[in-house]
Chains A and B, each alone.
Chain A
């Protein structure tokens, strides 16, 4: 580091200095410097947003509706979210004071943590997990505590695992099912067992359910719909994945009103409100987007089946992910670390995947492959991985 860099770094807060840049970012920099890449590294749908949704947003612009909305988001959208959650996931939230429209689920996670975590309080994070959880906990002065899951259990978290990590400083637990990067989902029974420990220790739950619609064999079970969980859960979701709206930056967070009003304070000062034209698109997505969403999900399911059985054919152990669009095969048999594997695969065969270690404890020995790519790309990727395995074994 040059001395001028050191000097300017003195201005950075210690919290910011403590956190690492995302491991995904590092792989992005590597992969984007190369061409002819087949990418399984993408954490987003390969579809564009359905046309009717885009059209609704365009229409709002044409009518010149370009001002701020209410801080919590347009009431019409909150009402639509409320109806949607009730119909699809049996969770009830009052649109007037229990729902906040955010700039993506990303902002929702940040709001939830900022509104609830005091410095020094521990937040359990079920890992492997989405990359932003632990750094965001650190940024608010909390202590992220990993609860590691592993392939033996299909990356499901158990009550005992949680029990072992709870201390008197534990304030909350962060759950994400269907999970990024493992695609794991939990059944109602499994969640109820977990809920029992959570209730016993009186923990708060952040439940990131952004992939809720994208389950392939079993219906998604929403955490706040479980007995005694609603009052202790902050639900995080959004439009990015199921409605193929990543670039719109639109999500939402729901919680009992005293928690929601806390989050709203932060949101109103930090963000004012989510993008207005995006909110118009979102209303259309919730009202008329189901059919196209189901088509997309059918296609993800088919590609999951194809990809996972192809991985098995070439000798990679992989649990069958029940949701999202990620497969998380084990590469342990190759003797390489996940990072070395991903790097070598990228250089030798030009296939981009994300090393499992960037997703935290339990992720080492795995790679994340997104199957949200065309079938021909997936076929080609499997061939290349196969030839790579042939060379390194």
Chain B
């Protein structure tokens, strides 16, 4: 449905947009938008609404993010799914992808300290039976995340009145 895609694109950009604003933008009634949203939630098309936070800007113990390339031995019958599930169940794991190429799984870990991440990798991840090897990359700086540029100089360069 045309408006459904449009609604999703809007929400993906800003999950906090008031329903009344969305309704105006899409030329729909508020009820219609609410209906569609709850339908999309029920169908698990919309899985959640979250904020993108630049943690470096607030006084918090800065988190550490690591991306770990994991090679695994897939199991007959369940392939990669079983080991994937064992990995994504850990609360430290923020994202998990099956990859093509030189390794199989890409695991994104967030921890408070480097050693916490190290511990997770050495004690929990690499000890899994089907894990053959891991390579850990620590993230040094976030430039862009989920389509949002961090530290964007987005001031308006236009002159106030023009043709």
Instruction: Please give the residue numbers on chain A whose beta carbons come within 8 Å of chain B beta carbons, in ascending order.
Output: 22, 24, 27-28, 31-32, 37, 39, 41-44, 46, 130-132, 180, 298, 302-303, 305-306, 309-310, 352, 354, 375, 379
Contact = CB atoms under 8 A, between A and B. Distances in A.
B123 interface: no
Given A46-B156, A302-B6, A354 B25 contact: no
A302 B26 contact: yes
A130 B159 contact: no
B15 to A, nearest CB: 14
Interface residues of B, number: 16
A310 B159 CA distance: 25
Contacts of A302: 6, 10, 25-26
B163 A303 contact: no
Contact of A43 (B9, B17, B25, B163): B163
B60 interface: no
A333 B158 CA distance: 31
Given A24-B162, A37-B160, A43-B162, 7 more contacts: A28-B159, A39-B158, A39-B161, A42-B159, A42-B162, A302-B10, A306-B24
B21 A31 contact: no
Interface in B147-163: 156, 158-163
Contacts of A37: 160
A18 to B, nearest CB: 21
A303 B25 contact: yes
A130 B21 CA distance: 31
A71 B160 CA distance: 34
B27 interface: yes
Contacts of A180: 163
Contact of B160 (A28, A298, A375): A28
A234 to B, nearest CB: 20
